[in-house]
Structures are given as C-alpha cells and as structure tokens.
C-alpha cells in the first residue's frame, strides 16, 4: 500500500510508533461490493469497523463468513435475515451475527447507514479497499 491513506491503517509502522489513528469519513475512499452499497473501512490490528451505506432497496445477497459481525444502525432502516430470522432494524438497533451464519439484508425506503465491526478483519474487504485507496 502507498502512503496516501496510511492514516487509516494500523500497519507495522504505526504499531511500532504506537499512536492513535484518526479518520474522517469524508476522506476514506469507499469501495462497492454490490450495487448501491458503499463501504468505508477503518482497519485495526484485530478488528475492522466499516461505515456501510446502502441506497434505498439495495440488497446484500445471502452469504456467510467465519468473522463475527456486530452492527449498529446509525441512519435509516434495514431488514436483515439471519439464519432464517427476519427483523426490521432502525436507528438505535444493533445486531450480532455469529460466525458462519447465513445472512442477507435489504435497505429501507430511505437507505441505511450502518457501523459494522468484523473480527477478525475481513481480508477480502481490506484488499478491495486497498485496491481503491492505493
């Protein structure tokens, strides 16, 4: 990775320097894993927290992963289905998806902004982001 966005990654250098990482969302280039979805990650050593913005009706197809996933709705609404259980979530709701559990989602009429954390880091997201962020 180049130095242009290194402020957003706690890589070897910042680890040895032991300093905070400060991130402004507007300065984090988003990547798009699917139509109408933009992800802006903040990558730590053991965790990754992402702003995930979904346009109205945008769909996350069913998938699963080994990573534990804990999300909070900060704007709008989303309908999530996890292991066959469906809930509509609004601002102030949170959800925890255990590892390897199938889940999918659809953004509400006004879209949704989520703050989602993955442990361990989702390397395919980190890779997709670095491809854009440089």
| Footprint of a copy of itself (CB under 8 A) | 10, 14-15, 18-26, 42, 44-47, 49, 51, 68, 70, 72, 74, 80, 82-83, 85, 87, 89, 92-98, 100-101, 103, 115, 117, 119
Residue with smaller CB distance to a copy of itself, 55 or 104: 104
Angle at 105 between CA 131 and CA 64, to 5 degrees: 65
- Least Å distance, CB 12 to a copy of itself, is 12
Cβ closest to a copy of itself, residue 103 vs residue 107: 103
Q: Does residue 120 have a cis peptide bond before it, meaning omega lies within 30 degrees of 0?
A: yes
Q: Alpha carbon 67 to chain centroid distance? A: 12
Beta bridge partners of 63: 103
The residue (of 75 and 124) whose beta carbon lies closer to a copy of itself is 75
Q: How many other CB atoms are there within 10 angstroms of residue 64's CB atom?
A: 16
């Amino acid at each position: 990775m180049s130095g242009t966005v290194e402020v957003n990654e706690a890589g070897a250098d910042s680890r040895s320097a032991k300093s905070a990482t400060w991130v402004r969302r507007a300065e984090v280039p988003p990547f798009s894993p699917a139509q109408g979805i933009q992800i802006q990650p903040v990558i730590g050593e053991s965790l990754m927290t992402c702003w995930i913005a979904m346009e109205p009706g945008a769909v996350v197809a069913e998938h699963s992963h080994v990573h534990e996933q804990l999300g909070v709705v900060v704007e709008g609404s989303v309908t999530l289905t996890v292991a066959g259980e469906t809930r509509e979530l609004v601002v102030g709701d949170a959800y925890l998806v255990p590892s390897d559990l199938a889940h999918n989602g659809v953004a509400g009429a006004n879209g949704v902004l989520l703050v989602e954390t993955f442990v361990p880091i989702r390397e395919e997201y980190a890779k997709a982001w670095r491809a854009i962020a440089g």
